[in-house]
A and B are shown apart, each in its own frame.
Chain A
Amino acid sequence: MATNTSQPILVVEHINVRFETPDDGPVIAVDDVSLDVAPGEFLSVIGPSGCGKSTLFNVMGGLLGGYEGRVSVAGETISGPHASIGMVFQEESTFPWRSVTDNVAFPLELIGMPKDKRIERARHFIKLVGLDGFENRYPGELSGGMRQRVSLARTLASEPKILLMDEPFAALDEQTRLLLGDKVLQIQQDLKQTTLLITHNITEAVQMSDRILVMTYRPGKVKRIVNIDLPRPRTSEIVGSEAFGRYVAQIWADLREEASRGMKDDETRTMRVDEARS
């Protein structure tokens, strides 16, 4: 396990994030969350909706300021987006006016790489995500899963030290999700890519991770960190194994409590709104 043998590359220390909401007043979105990721490690952060995991994603990616705590990459404290961190978003984020190649070459264009060189690099990463043959297509001509792969290739093309993904497959159907998971696993193993995945999907998390950090429902705290000792290289076939099932059951036991708290909270809020109306 890479976790304990080497110096962590990403260190997140005592992050606190508070929001002012019009309905509930101040809400603590992230409460004293600390984590670290070792080079080459695959860490997943899992939690029910409303646990502040997307907020944590934005803090680590440098897109959200005004938090307490410290995020550092290879010892350097970050303030704002950092070249070592590549983000893949949950939403549809390809540029519809750019071809697949030009989408993937986007980060290279920003750093002023010459055209022929960046197209060559872009093609390499397009091939890596299995989209060769679609280089000149536009996102509008591709399926949702293919577009997410374009986004992934675009972020990989910037060669980040840490790949940070926020539920990248949330909008896809289960089969596509599993197959894309295979793709990500394979790429992660080939590139020894350090990866931090934010997700609410237990299967996805167990399938891919070395460690899983389970978060509590509001305020989002670290509930538990689970080591996943499943053999690598892995594929989606592991989903059928007994050990896999045990991990899923264990994490579900943790998550279930949090998710039902979230559900109750939603119900009370809805009832309160109904009362206010009547």
Chain B
Amino acid sequence: MAETVRVKKAAVAAPAIGPVTLLRIAIVVTLLAGWELLAASGWLYRDVVPSLVAIGSAVADLLMHGEYYFNLGVTAGEIGVALLIGGTAGVLVGLALGANRFLSKAFESYLYYLGPTPKIIFFPIMIMWFGVGPGSKVAMGAVSCFFPIVLSVAAGMRQIDKVLIRVGNSFRANTWQMVQKIYLPAMRHPIINGIRLGLGVGLIGTLLAETKLSNKGIGFLIIQAYSLFDMPRMYAMLIVLFVLAIGVNALVGRLGGLDSIKRA
């Protein structure tokens, strides 16, 4: 009797939690269980795989101290300024390349070559120019996010429906009106997409630079925990960073998404 009741319940609950969700949960549970087993087994050297309890308490410890928030603020500030500089430059250069065939023919292939190059190779130069502090991190982030944004904006500009430009011209819009009322709104999808990609690589550029050489920021804290072999703390920071990155990406995606709903 009890058996049938359980089966019925499961059948009713199934549509609410689909097979995909169940599988996802199963994967996470399996990974966590495997991790915990590995931690308990003692096969690996000391804290290389700390127990989940240790990581959990390290997360709590992290979030209760002001030091973490200060460094988080430093990193967020660096990324923000980097995105502002790299993004503005990217949009402006992208507009110029999109508008002018000659410029785009002359320069765009360089951008395509430089785009996929790991920007971290410029880090030593950035340190010489901007010092060990946040300046060099901002420069790294800005250089990183410039490329996807400029290429995306230039391509977006060339894809604008030409008739909309003829409409603007026929109503005698001036250059500023054309940019503000036709080009930019017509390109909002490629621009948002470019900024999304730019944010991703900007984040990577900044954090990578911080882990290489710095005195502040999340990357610095991670490397510090690593060199002190405080593994629970290091994992705790990775987890928090992971959650933050997902949150930021969802936020930017939402900005683009809302827009496309309105467009219908």
Contacts and interface: CB of A to CB of B under 8 A. Distances in A.
A97 B188 CA distance: 10
A57 to B, nearest CB: 11
A237 B177 CA distance: 44
A179 B161 CA distance: 28
B177 A110 contact: yes
B263 interface: yes
Interface residues of A, number: 25
A95 B263 CA distance: 10
A89 B166 contact: yes
Interface in B158-203: 161, 163-164, 166-167, 169-173, 177, 181-182, 185-186, 188
B163 A89 contact: yes
A95 B170 CA distance: 14
Specify the main secondary structure of chain A where it touches its partner. loop
A249 interface: no
Contact of A83 (B163, B166, B172, B188): B172
A110 B176 CA distance: 11
A138 B263 contact: yes
Contact of A81 (B163, B172, B185, B186): B172
A110 to B, nearest CB: 5
Interface in A51-102: 61-63, 80-81, 83, 85-87, 89, 91-93, 95-98
A120 interface: no
A107 to B, nearest CB: 5
B24 interface: no
Nearest to B167: A93
Contacts of B171: 81, 106-107, 110, 158
Given A97-B185, A106-B181, A81 B169 contact: yes
A98 B264 CA distance: 11
A93 B263 contact: no
A110 B173 CA distance: 6
Interface string B241-264: 000000000000000000000111
Specify the main secondary structure of chain B where it touches its partner. helix
B153 to A, nearest CB: 17
A140 interface: yes
A141 interface: yes
B173 A140 contact: no
A83 B171 CA distance: 7
A243 to B, nearest CB: 36
A174 interface: no
Q: Considering residues B166, B171, B186, B264, which has the most beta carbons from chain A within 10 angstroms of its beta carbon? A: B171
A87 B171 CA distance: 8
B172 A63 contact: no
A211 B20 CA distance: 68
A61 B172 CA distance: 11
A58 to B, nearest CB: 8
Nearest to A82: B172
Nearest to B185: A97
A138 B161 CA distance: 17
Interface string B17-58: 000000000000000000000000000000000000000000
B172 A110 contact: yes
B164 A63 contact: no
Given A63-B166, A93-B161, A141-B264, 7 more contacts: A91-B163, A95-B186, A97-B263, A109-B181, A110-B172, A138-B262, A138-B263
The 3 closest A-B pairs by CB, nearest first: A140-B264, A91-B163, A87-B170
Interface of B: 161, 163-164, 166-167, 169-173, 177, 181-182, 185-186, 188, 262-264
26 contacts: A63-B166, A63-B169, A81-B169, A81-B170, A81-B172, A83-B172, A86-B170, A87-B166, A89-B166, A91-B161, A91-B163, A93-B164, A93-B166, A93-B167, A95-B164, A95-B182, A95-B185, A95-B186, A109-B181, A110-B171, A110-B177, A110-B181, A138-B262, A138-B263, A140-B264, A158-B171
